[in-house]
Amino acid sequence: MTKLNVETRHAVHPDHAKGMDTQTLRDNFLAQGMFADGEIRLVYTHYDRFTVGGAVPAGGSLTLDKVDETRTATFLERREMGIVNIGDAGTVEAAGETYAMNKGDVLYLGMGSGPVTFKGQGRFYITSCPAHHTHASRLITVEDAKKVEMGEAATSNKRTIKMFIHPLVMESCQLVLGYTSLEEGSVWNTMPAHVHDRRMEAYLYWGMAEESRVLHLMGEPTETRHLFVADEEAIISPTWSIHSGAGIGEYTFIWAMAGDNVDYTDMDFVQAAELR
């Protein structure tokens, strides 16, 4: 029997966030310990009902089926899902299909795909949000992704963005997903910072050394806060919050969004001089 753990995170008003101490900020906006051998662990949020989590079959098999928090027969009955393999090779089975996933590959599962089974040595990062239409499931390999190079070495933010579940690559309802890797010597992942009131976002940091950390900036542009984030930890970013940061050493972050649109460029930039 699959061991499933689900944690619920309620939405936080920005006025409430202003008064939070460090531990309260971490309790509300940082997801830790999602990747445990032989378990599926989910964080079900009240931000657009977005869900993040991890499945680590550790050579065995784990099945994600009914999740009580959604009150549906199966988790994907009214949802779509994006899965990123951040570990060794593994497989995912859904709707009678088996998808072989190498490190960095992304699998999109459309609404109504039924139970999802994870096998092998993969470390599967799970993202999911409500859907209103069934789109075709698709495996998008690293080679299939749309790649965009941004930033400059002079501003310490030279990086490569890989788009997977994205209008330039495929169709989805709400879910948009990809990841960004920093070049050697660059540390800033998103600068200038931005907000997008129409979509929430989640960041999973990975590919980091055990001792490394990313200083993740969040909060309203004139009321910024920060969290130190370790490898395989995720930030739940509300619509009112900036999301930017700088890391110690090599790292990649997976960005995943849901909300009113799938327009990746729909963001309101905040220049560094405006931040407080």
pLDDT digits (tens, 9 = 90+) for 3-36: 999 999 999 999 999 999 999 999 999 999 999 9
- The number of C-alpha atoms within 13 Å of 207 and in the hemisphere containing its C-beta is 17
196 in a known ligand binding site: yes
Q: Mean pLDDT, to the nearest integer, of 170-196? A: 92
Q: Lowest mean pLDDT: which of 43-52, 66-75, 180-189, 205-214?
A: 180-189
Claim to verify: residue 38 and residue 71 sit in the same structural domain: yes
- Taking the C-alpha atoms of residue 90 and residue 265, their distance in angstroms, rounded to an integer, is 33
* Full residue range of the structural domain in which residue 212 is found: 145-274
Claim to verify: residue 161 and residue 60 sit in the same structural domain: no
Q: What percent of the chain has pLDDT over 70?
A: 100
- Taking the C-alpha atoms of residue 109 and residue 107, their distance in angstroms, rounded to an integer, is 6
Torsion from C-alpha of 183, 187, 190, 191, nearest 10 degrees: -120
The H-or-E segment that residue 250 falls in is: none
The strand pairing partners of 150, in sequence order, are: 159
CATH for 96 = 2.60.120.10
For residue 242, which of 190, 207, 194 has the smallest C-alpha distance? 194
Q: Mean pLDDT, to the nearest integer, of 148-155? A: 92
Would residue 20 count as lying in a domain? no
End-to-end CA distance of the chain: 50
Tokens in use for 8? 């619920």
Q: How many independent structural domains does the chain possess?
A: 2
For residue 165, which of 113, 122, 127, 117 has the smallest C-alpha distance? 127
201 in a known ligand binding site: yes
- Yes or no: say if 257 and 200 are a contact pair by the CB < 8 Å rule: yes
Q: Mean pLDDT, to the nearest integer, of 188-195? A: 87
Last residue of a domain, one of 108, 142, 176: 142
In this model, does residue 90 exceed pLDDT 90? yes
In this model, does residue 265 exceed pLDDT 90? no
pTM of the shown model: 0.96
243 in a known ligand binding site: yes
Claim to verify: residue 223 and residue 99 sit in the same structural domain: no
Band the pLDDT of 191: cuts 50, 70, 90: confident
Q: What percent of the chain has pLDDT over 90?
A: 89
Would residue 23 count as lying in a domain? no
In this model, does residue 192 exceed pLDDT 90? no
Claim to verify: residue 246 and residue 166 sit in the same structural domain: yes
132 in a known ligand binding site: no
Would residue 227 count as lying in a domain? yes
Last residue of a domain, one of 120, 142, 164: 142
> What is the edge-to-edge ordering of all strands in the sheet holding 3-9?
3-9, 39-45, 51-56, 124-130, 79-85, 106-109, 138-140
- Taking the C-alpha atoms of residue 59 and residue 89, their distance in angstroms, rounded to an integer, is 10
Claim to verify: residue 78 and residue 125 sit in the same structural domain: yes
- Yes or no: say if 135 and 142 are a contact pair by the CB < 8 Å rule: no
Last residue of a domain, one of 86, 112, 142: 142
Using the Cα atoms of residue 23, residue 220, residue 226 and residue 247 in order, give the sign of their dihedral: positive
Would residue 24 count as lying in a domain? no
Claim to verify: residue 38 and residue 130 sit in the same structural domain: yes
